[in-house]
Amino acid sequence: MQSMQPSSSCWRRLGDGLYRHPGASLFLLLAPPLIWFGVVYLGSLFTLLLQSVFTFDDFTMNVSSALTWSNYRALLAPTNYDVVLRTVGMAAAVTLVSSVLAFPMAYYMARYARGWQKGFFYVAVMLPMWASYIVKAYSWTVILAKGGIVYWFYRHLGLTWVVEGLLSLPLIGGNSLSTSNLGRLTVFTYIWLPFMILPIQAALERVPRNLEQAAADLGATPTQTFRTVILPLAFPGVVAGSIFTFSLTLGDYIIPQLFGPPGLFIGTMVYTMQGSIGNLPLAAAFTVVPVVIIALYLSAAKRLGAFDAL
């Protein structure tokens, strides 16, 4: 005789029932993450959007729920508009420099590194991410400081004139490395570079090696092969990486305070508005800017065919 334990039979019936109704098991699997996303993520996004059309009373410093477009209009005021331009310009520069630096590295990792080398490169790229962001940011203040290691290096290499020349240029220049846009760009690029290398490497990893041979076989020089085969196929990786570097730079509020010339970034602006001033509606309107820019960027990338090869 087969004895059936009530508890196990109950579990078994539940299991059999789920097997017969795949829709139910899918619902059970997806419900927790969907609730999390729906409530926590979309909910807060909605609150943010709502907050951005609330009214802030300059005199009483109170927020009222009267709806207004004035916060968005305020974004177009020259001082605020400058903040947006400054931030977007830096984010674009960081993205460009990161992609140029990341591509050869990612290419080497995907094509040539074998065995222990592969592990070494992975760890080398990821290692900076093990350290706290704040620690890395502050350590760069020491690195770039007058009398720091960077100064020591170019003084001993006799390259002072190069650095002086760079610092005398408009836009990227400044009094010293740490107060120039060049210094800010350097630190941003250092911090976000891994986020560019890894997606490009993953994209290149999926490009079959014999496509390069096929191109060469048909008469393409290495440059032509790169332009017509490798780059188009790795482009989704570049776009993925650039979404990281671009949006992370757009939202950062620490590095702009530590490095570079004075002038607010979107992040520091939001920080100031919601913190000391308490103008949450304007802070919310500023926060919507990166969301819109990233959305525009993605649709442009889609139109350029960045995701066709996926």
Partner 1 sequence: MTSAVEFHNLSRVFDQVRAVDNVSMSVEEGEFFAMLGPSGSGKTTCLRLIAGFEQPSSGSVRIFGQEASGLPPYRRDVNTVFQDYALFPHMSVLDNVAYGLMVKGVGKRQRLEQAQAMLDLVKLEQYGARRPAALSGGQRQRVALARALINQPRVLLLDEPLGALDLKLREQMQIELKALQRKLGITFVYVTHDQGEALSMSDRVAVFNQGKIEQIATPRQLYTQPQSAFVADFVGTSNVFDAASAQALCGDARAFSIRPERISMSATAGARDGVHLSGELIDIQYLGAVSRFEVKSASGKIIAVVTPNTLDTPADNLVIGMPVFLFWTPGAMHRLSA
Interface positions with partner 1 (CB under 8 A): 208, 210-211, 213-221, 224, 228-229, 232-233, 308-309
In this structure, what are the phi and psi dihedrals at residue 65, rounded to the nearest 5 degrees? Answer: -85, 15
CB of 118 to partner 1, least distance (A): 19
Q: Provide the minimum distance between the beta carbon of 297 and partner 1 in the complex, in angstroms, as a whole number.
A: 21
Considering the complex, state which of residue 105 and residue 229 has its C-beta at the smaller distance from partner 1: 229
Q: Rounded to an integer, what distance in angstroms lies between the CA atom of residue 266 and that of residue 251? A: 7
CB of 303 to partner 1, least distance (A): 15
CA 12/CA 215 separation, integer angstroms:
57
Cβ 302 to partner 1, closest distance in Å? 15
Q: Which is nearer to partner 1, 23 or 208 (CB)?
A: 208
**136, burial (CB in 10 Å: exposed 0-12, middle 13-18, buried 19+):** middle
Expressed in percent and rounded to 5, the helix, strand and coil fractions of the chain are 75, 0, 25
Query: What do you get for the CA distance between the two ends of the chain, in Å?
Result: 57
The least CB distance from residue 107 to partner 1, in Å, is 18
Residues 6+ apart with CB under 8 A from 187: 137, 140, 144, 255, 258, 259
Q: How far is the CB of 207 from partner 1 (least distance, A)?
A: 9
Comparing CB distances to partner 1, the nearer of 151 and 226 is: 226
Which residue number, 208 or 262, has a Cβ lying nearer to partner 1?
208
Query: What's phi and psi for 57, nearest 5 deg?
Result: -90, 115
CA distance 182 to 166: 8
